[in-house]
Structure 1
Amino acid sequence: MTNQLIDHVFTPARAKSGQRLLQLSRTDKVALQVYLIFQAGLWITVYATAWLFADGGKPATTPIVSRWAQWDAKSFVTIAKEGYFPNGAAARDAREAFLPGLPFLLRCVHAVIPEWTVDGLLVSLLAGGAAALALSRVAQITAPGREVGVRSVSFLLASPGAVFLAAGYSESLFLSLALPAWLAAKKGNWRLAAALACAAGTVRVSGLFLATAMLVQFAASGDVRGRARRLPWLTLPFLPMLAYTWYLRTHTGDWMSWEHAQERGWFRGFHAPWQTWCNTWKAAFSSESAPYAFMFQLELAAVITGILLLVVLMRQRLWPEVTYVGLSLSALGASYWYMSVPRAALLWWPLWISLAAWSVRRPWVRSAYVAIAVPLTTLVTVTFTSGRWAG
């Protein structure tokens, strides 16, 4: 399985049989260089934030690393340290809403590096590099061309929610598994695709959207009857969520424990889509929610972007991608208000590939994107690492 993973996912398609399996193409190297530059830029921003928001105008004495320990990063660490049910009872912090993939990995890394925040940053750093490499490969298959691959990575890393790719959150880890799974599916290696998607399903509920999209990809690839024996493999990515639901049921007696944790912690109970829009609009432009208005404005912008992306994908008849993005939007658009949509947009790789391909045809697109996205990315990074973010 390891050799298959390297051969089908991390080896360039044009590689000759005599080449080493881990050899990187020129495009791969550029994509990784862009990723490292992105990481450096984020750390510079965090360093400046520590001075900008220093107490009493004096330089901040708190270690810069601790500024990454915010919100969900703390939740993942808490689960890694205590589990979901400390002392055999359910906690009151809605921790059941977080799937166990990242906490389990943090626990493993902590055995080697005994600093929880550093553990989360290290996992995201390595996972983000793998995701950047895989995104470049997927882009080159979807819209052939070396330039499209690197640009897709650049568009992702410059997006407003990009700080969450570096923090101890689950986005980077999910992408590092989901993108290679998608690449394997595009190459027809369904066993490998199913195994990787199964791993992604332990990290985020978006694994269910990925699994469903892979079924559509399987059906759209033709000769389904000739490959019917491989179809059972595609049920594998659905198992992690089923197993986790059963685990929560055995401890809480509630089959809907995950959903109820979402509602308890973030008001993500089911609401009509138009009601969700109205509630978010009010939060975005009401004087009562002024401290968090900008966050909700970003949520609205991300939803509009997702809808436009769906239209583009439908016009291109990319039905597997339509399925993946559509399910994500549907899940996010049926709660009390939009929450964490800019973060979820990081997982919409068709968006970054579409923008990259568009920018190759229309050079002004890249300039416009950089002019708009980079200031927002900086602002979100400052807001998050200064403890002023609420999403």
Structure 2
Amino acid sequence: MIDYLGFTMKAQRAKRELVAIVFVTTLGTFFLSYVSYMVLENKTVHSLLTLWNRWDTIHYLDIARNWYSSTTEGERHLRIVFFPLYPALVKAVSLVLRNHMLSALLVSNVSYVLCILYLYKLVLLDYEEKTAVRAAFYLSVFPTAYFLHAGYTESLYLALTVSSFYYARKGRWWLSGITGMFASATRITGVVLLPALLFEYMLQRDFKVRAIGKNIIWLFLIPLGLFSYLAINYITFGSPFKFLEFQKEHWFKTLIPPWKGLTGAWSSTLWRQPNERVLVGWAELVSGILGYILTLIAFLRIRLSYAAYLLLTWVIVTSTSYWLSLPRYMLSAFPIFIVLSLIGERKEAGYLIVFLSLTLFTLFMSLFVQGRWAF
């Protein structure tokens, strides 16, 4: 029997439980967005597509429609800071559906299903079914899990990174390299799959140099996704690193040591408007610190290659002049949910994780569909 968040189920029912998690959380997310918007805004919802067309989704849809451009009209040139794979997939699907927003939601939600399945299969390589299901559940109800269903890259990136690790664990290095390449074309942190998976490769060979085979070459496909993005920068603006200039000029973000970002987050809790103190100050501060705490636990409790990937990812996202969207970046770091699943083995801890997750999920998602800042 499996003890899962206070409920008992047989091992053979684990996969059906997984399907239920995907079904209920997906429908629940869209239903809750519909109801919360009507209640909080006192307005009729005429279209869920319009309701979810917020923030970065607008930029991804424009890229899907018009690709990248150097024109400053409507600040379209700034969209070069967004990586190309997700909008390219949205464009491809829209050729069939004839609706870019619907295509974006379809790409995201299909990717969500895939990331849940691969996370379950990956965790199952080392742990019992209850741990694998619990990891998938915690991911699905995480405070920022609504991004898995929105027109954002989170679910696609998760599907690609988790599957890349899964294929590496199964010794199918060509698939690991290809999915890793697509991950680095989705988000800049995808490139850290290369050192993490090289570590995994050597881990499987007890770090014996003589055991290295030709199949290691497949892992060097991973940075090609990033190179394709740099090529787009060069073709569009004449500089492969133009996106860094825009990050600095428009968003005032530069690469600095993580502890400086920490002090900036703390400062934001003191001087900003009340809502920003919470959403830009405390939320970022707590997420940044919690990310490093979970990374430390990861090195103690889960596979070292996963922990290395988490560390490299978290160093990148916190090494900026000010911390922004860290609660959302936590969602994209899959080892966090393996760690949380192990912590949740204690029933009291499990209840606490779920209670906090669902409470914050409801709050943040309600803000998001109203068009307010929610990471």
TM-score between both structures, scaled by the size of structure 1: 0.87
User: Which segment drifts farther, 190-199 or 79-88?
Assistant: 79-88
- Counterpart pick for 1:47 among 31, 34, 43: 34
Is the CA contact 2:68–2:77 (under 8 Å) kept in the aligned structure 1? Answer: no
- Counterpart pick for 2:193 among 195, 200, 210: 210
**Partner residue of 2:14?**
27
**Partner residue of 2:130?**
147
5+ residue gaps in structure 1? 1-24
Q: Using the alignment, how far apart are the partners of 2:37 and 2:72 within structure 1?
A: 39
Alignment of 1:150-299 (within 5 A): 150-222=133-205, 223-286=208-271, 288-296=272-280, 297-299=282-284
Alignment of 1:1-391 (within 5 A): 26-54=13-41, 57=42, 59-85=43-69, 91-142=75-126, 144-222=127-205, 223-286=208-271, 288-296=272-280, 297-316=282-301, 318-360=303-345, 362-389=346-373, 391=375
Deviations 1:236-270 (A, max 9, x none): 01111122213312332223212223334433212
Is the CA contact 2:70–2:76 (under 8 Å) kept in the aligned structure 1? Answer: no
Q: Using the alignment, how far apart are the partners of 2:76 and 2:249 within structure 1?
A: 9
**Distance change (3 Å), C-alpha of 1:117 and 1:250:** closer
**Distance change (3 Å), C-alpha of 1:88 and 1:51:** closer
Deviations 1:173-214 (A, max 9, x none): 111222111111111111111111112221111210222211
5+ residue gaps in structure 2? 1-11
Q: Using the alignment, how far apart are the partners of 2:61 and 2:374 within structure 1?
A: 18
Structure 1 residue 34, shift from structure 2 partner: 0.3
> Which residue type is aligned with residue 101 of structure 1?
L
Q: Using the alignment, how far apart are the partners of 2:263 and 2:71 within structure 1?
A: 41
**Secondary structure at the residue paired with 1:293?**
helix
Q: Using the alignment, how far apart are the partners of 1:26 and 1:176 within structure 2?
A: 23
Is the CA contact 1:138–1:183 (under 8 Å) kept in the aligned structure 2? Answer: yes
Q: Using the alignment, how far apart are the partners of 2:371 and 2:362 within structure 1?
A: 14
**Secondary structure at the residue paired with 1:338?**
coil
**Secondary structure at the residue paired with 2:30?**
helix
Q: Using the alignment, how far apart are the partners of 1:321 and 1:110 within structure 2?
A: 35
> Which residue type is aligned with residue 175 of structure 2?
L
> Which residue type is aligned with residue 230 of structure 2?
T
Q: Using the alignment, how far apart are the partners of 2:110 and 2:45 within structure 1?
A: 28
**Secondary structure at the residue paired with 2:247?**
helix
Give me the CA root mean square deviation: 2.1
**Secondary structure at the residue paired with 1:271?**
coil
Q: Using the alignment, how far apart are the partners of 2:251 and 2:36 within structure 1?
A: 27
Q: Using the alignment, how far apart are the partners of 1:138 and 1:317 within structure 2?
A: 12
Structure 1 residue 317, shift from structure 2 partner: 7.2
**Distance change (3 Å), C-alpha of 1:356 and 1:317:** closer
Structure 1 residue 159, shift from structure 2 partner: 0.9
Q: Using the alignment, how far apart are the partners of 2:268 and 2:347 within structure 1?
A: 36
**Secondary structure at the residue paired with 1:169?**
coil
User: Which segment drifts farther, 202-211 or 132-141?
Assistant: 202-211
Q: Using the alignment, how far apart are the partners of 2:335 and 2:364 within structure 1?
A: 23
Deviations 1:73-105 (A, max 9, x none): 111001011111166999555211111101110
Q: Using the alignment, how far apart are the partners of 1:153 and 1:231 within structure 2?
A: 30
Is the CA contact 1:284–1:295 (under 8 Å) kept in the aligned structure 2? Answer: no
**Secondary structure at the residue paired with 2:133?**
helix
Paired residues in the alignment total 361
**Distance change (3 Å), C-alpha of 1:111 and 1:335:** same
Q: Using the alignment, how far apart are the partners of 1:228 and 1:102 within structure 2?
A: 33
Q: Using the alignment, how far apart are the partners of 2:288 and 2:256 within structure 1?
A: 16
Structure 1 residue 122, shift from structure 2 partner: 0.9
Question: Percent identity of the aligned residues?
Answer: 24
Q: Using the alignment, how far apart are the partners of 1:147 and 1:350 within structure 2?
A: 16
Structure 1 residue 26, shift from structure 2 partner: 4.5
